[in-house]
Amino acid sequence: MYNAFFSLIKRDLRLAFRHKSEILNPLFFFVIVVTLFPLGISPEKQTLAEIGPGIIWVAALLASMLSFDSLFRSDFDDGTLELMLLSEYPLSILVLAKIIVHWLITGFPIIIFSPLLGTVMFLSNDAIETLMITLLLGTPILSLIGAIGMALVVALKRGGMLLSLLVLPLYIPVLIFSSNAVGSSMAGLSISGQLYFLAAFLIFCITLAPIATSAALRVSLE
């Protein structure tokens, strides 16, 4: 089972690195969306520092949202997904491997780039550190929850818009607690409560989301 799990991770990572746009496009999208806000609202240092945490988080959320097509779509089109369903390994484990790769190619680059964006949004050093921690805890949650939605719409022709309708409401708790944590650390308040919530939510999602995703895949591929 571990063999299947790791070879699937390796395969998906190799595929992602062959199509570099899959890694780069969400990242560009993330950077561009954040850039739009100073242009649209105001370049004032105070305003940006105030809205920065929320904007960076919303951009991360949308970037992860738009990258879900890469999660199951190509495997669905060429029939790989069907073979995974028929394989002897538990589908939820295989799904978890795919989700981990999705996080590695979309969530992880965002975390790496976030200090840069935090700096241009005039966040304090403490706040940038908190931003990175919340992204580290939060972006895997986005990948896990989004996978459920993607599994539900994968067989539909125009699933993209529907996916955001299904998944964005479920992202809201993550957004609230993360941007609240970053805002609190700007104000010098304690952030352990929010981080505990995110960590608990992450564990919860790791436990249950792969099961829900594999159930959804079975429905979609019937």
Nearer to other proteins by Cβ, of 116 and 189: the residue is 189
Nearer to other proteins by Cβ, of 9 and 166: the residue is 166
Cβ distance 61 to 52 under 8 Å?
Answer: no
Site residues for other proteins per CB under 8 A: 145, 148, 152-153, 156, 159, 162, 165-166, 168-170, 172-173, 212, 215-216, 219-220, 222
Q: How far is the CB of 168 from other proteins (least distance, A)?
A: 7
**C-beta atoms surrounding 202 within 10 Å:** 18
Q: How far is the CB of 21 from other proteins (least distance, A)?
A: 27
Q: How far is the CB of 156 from other proteins (least distance, A)?
A: 5
Output DSSP code: residue 103: I
Nearer to other proteins by Cβ, of 14 and 218: the residue is 218
Q: How far is the CB of 47 from other proteins (least distance, A)?
A: 18
Q: How far is the CB of 222 from other proteins (least distance, A)?
A: 6
Nearer to other proteins by Cβ, of 54 and 109: the residue is 54
Nearer to other proteins by Cβ, of 43 and 193: the residue is 193
Cβ distance 72 to 217 under 8 Å?
Answer: yes
Pick the closest to residue 131 from 67, 198, 68 (CA basis): 198
Backbone phi and psi for residue 72, each to the nearest 5 degrees, phi listed first: -120, -15
Strand (E) or helix (H) holding 111: helix 108-120
Cβ distance 2 to 89 under 8 Å?
Answer: no
Q: What is the distance between the alpha carbons of residues 211 and 220, in angstroms, rounded to a whole number?
A: 14
